[in-house]
């Protein structure tokens, strides 16, 4: 592997070299932001340019800035204590690049979910092979060209290709493999990586719940919840997948949610702000969920009269049941099941009975209930009175738990994930350990007694 040979030639890039890589990436993103946003829109059949700049380019730039600002501190060896029986000696942990990192990026945020892992890998001093999604070909092809202009291929190599290419990619003996995508595919990636004992970070998804409290102002909650759902037309791994609403507030929720979405998008037709579903296959999958839910007794509340092409009308789904596909699969689209509950314990029990999600959202200002939600649920991350925004915090780790993923990246955690924390124990000329060398006798027994039994 060309990258492995290059890494062996330079196994510990300096702080200055890593910052140079990151700043070169930053300059490219800033220079090409409009071209990249246009390519994403073309791939989706329409995606707001502003949405791409805000949700992909801006957080990518922020993650670079954060890494550059903190890199010296991250790279500094960590001093550790030495047990008294081993003194005089010193101990430290040195953070060393793992080597060649493989990154498999998804289609839903083709820039941010490519650049984010790339930033972590370069900050940690690694070489990177980046497999881009075939579902967004224009973006993938442009990003390959642009990254090729910034980095030599033995530092950052971009791989294009269909599903079979992705399968072959996951079988390469990387020093670390980071995958973002569906849980079902994540199982195959982990299985392939296990053949090479390749460590994996899996950023998956699942059904992220939102809980509306009894007392929160409804307009406040629905505005923030709807923003998290309409962003990218729900094609977001941390989008609210279903919402639990107090039974007595169900009608208020539906009316308020309709009002908010209508304010965000006064019309669906030719609206440049309204993102389309990425391709026909996913559009048919989502319309199939709607047919299945309606056939099984759900009440559909479409928020627009009809779809326009692949601009899919946002829809609330009332009275959903567990046998509906929309409640069994991650939705990844502008459909929102609404489930009534009687008491916060019932809502939390509903969440706990299901696979652990990537995100959980709670809307309410009662501190006691907030703490109850945190203590009695498991999820990759949590937002209180907001959606999505925890992902954009560079100083917090991002990752799932159980079926929603394993491992973390972003910020310092990304640096740590893609570094080897190498323990270094050092001694000088004086060696007290020789008291423990054979042949054993009285001196050894006295030494052990002094250490442990005094």
Between 441 and 367, residue with greater pLDDT: 367
User: Catalytic: 372?
Assistant: no
pLDDT digits (tens, 9 = 90+) for 373-428: 999 999 999 999 999 999 999 999 999 999 999 999 999 999 999 999 999 999 99
| pLDDT above 60 for 454 | no
Q: Is 275 left (phi over 0), alpha (psi -120 to 50) or beta?
A: beta
| pLDDT above 80 for 152 | yes
| pLDDT above 80 for 131 | yes
Query: 2-204+401-422 adopts what CATH topology?
Result: Aldehyde Dehydrogenase; Chain A, domain 1 (3.40.605)
**Which CATH architecture group holds 209-392?**
3-Layer(aba) Sandwich (3.40)
Contact (Cβ atoms closer than 8 angstroms) between residue 172 and residue 183: no
- Residue intervals of the chain classified under CATH 3.40.605.10 are 2-204+401-422
User: Catalytic: 383?
Assistant: no
pTM comes to 0.94
Could you tell me which residues are beta bridge partners of residue 105?
none
Q: Which of 399, 403, 393, 373 is nearest to 385 (CA)?
A: 373
| pLDDT above 90 for 263 | yes
pLDDT digits (tens, 9 = 90+) for 198-249: 999 999 989 999 999 999 999 999 999 999 999 999 999 999 999 999 999 9
- Residue intervals of the chain classified under CATH 3.40.309.10 are 209-392
Q: How many CA atoms lie within 13 A of 277 on its CB side?
A: 22
Which one from 32, 51, 195, 203 is the annotated catalytic residue? 203
Which one from 237, 315, 330, 383 is the annotated catalytic residue? 237
CA torsion sign for 339, 342, 343, 346 is negative
């Amino acid at each position: 592997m060309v990258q492995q040979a290059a890494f062996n030639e330079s196994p510990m890039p300096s702080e200055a070299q890593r910052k140079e890589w990151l700043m070169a990436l930053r300059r490219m993103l800033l220079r090409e932001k409009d071209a990249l946003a246009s390519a994403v829109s073309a791939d989706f059949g329409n995606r707001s340019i502003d949405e791409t700049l805000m949700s992909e380019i801006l957080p990518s730039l922020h993650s670079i800035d954060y890494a550059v600002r903190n890199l010296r501190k991250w790279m500094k060896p960590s001093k550790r204590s030495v047990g008294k029986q081993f003194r005089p000696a010193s101990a430290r942990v040195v953070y060393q690049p793992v080597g060649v990192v493989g990154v498999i990026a998804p289609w839903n945020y083709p820039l941010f979910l490519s650049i984010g892992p790339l930033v972590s890998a370069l900050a940690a001093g690694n070489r990177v092979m980046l497999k881009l999604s075939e579902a967004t070909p224009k973006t993938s092809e442009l990003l390959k060209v642009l990254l090729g202009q910034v980095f030599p291929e033995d530092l950052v190599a971009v791989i294009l290709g269909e599903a079979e290419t992705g399968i072959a990619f996951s079988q390469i003996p990387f020093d670390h493999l980071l995958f973002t995508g569906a849980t079902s595919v994540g199982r195959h990636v982990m299985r392939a990586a296990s053949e090479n004992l390749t460590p994996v970070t899996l950023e998956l998804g699942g059904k992220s719940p939102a809980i509306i409290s009894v007392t929160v102002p409804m307009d406040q909650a629905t505005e923030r919840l709807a923003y998290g759902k309409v962003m990218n037309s729900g094609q977001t791994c941390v989008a609210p997948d279903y919402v639990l609403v107090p039974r007595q507030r169900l009608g208020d929720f539906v009316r308020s949610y309709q009002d908010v979405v209508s304010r965000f998008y006064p019309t669906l037709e030719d609206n440049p702000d309204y993102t389309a579903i990425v391709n026909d296959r996913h559009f048919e999958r989502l319309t199939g969920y709607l047919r299945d839910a309606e056939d099984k007794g759900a009440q559909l509340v479409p928020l627009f009269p009809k779809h326009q092409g692949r601009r899919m009308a946002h829809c609330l789904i009332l009275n959903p049941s567990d046998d509906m596909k929309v409640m069994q699969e991650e939705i990844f689209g502008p459909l929102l099941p609404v489930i009534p509950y009687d008491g916060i314990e019932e809502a939390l029990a509903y969440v706990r009975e299901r696979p652990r999600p990537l995100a959980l959202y709670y809307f309410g200002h009662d501190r006691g209930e907030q703490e109850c939600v945190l203590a009695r649920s498991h999820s990759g991350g949590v937002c209180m009175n907001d959606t999505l925004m925890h992902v954009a915090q560079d100083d917090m780790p991002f990752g799932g738990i159980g079926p929603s993923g394993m491992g973390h990246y972003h910020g310092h955690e990304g640096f740590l994930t893609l570094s080897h924390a190498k323990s270094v124990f050092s001694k000088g000329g004086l060696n007290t350990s020789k008291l423990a060398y054979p042949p054993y006798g009285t001196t050894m027994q006295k030494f052990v007694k002094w250490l442990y039994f005094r």
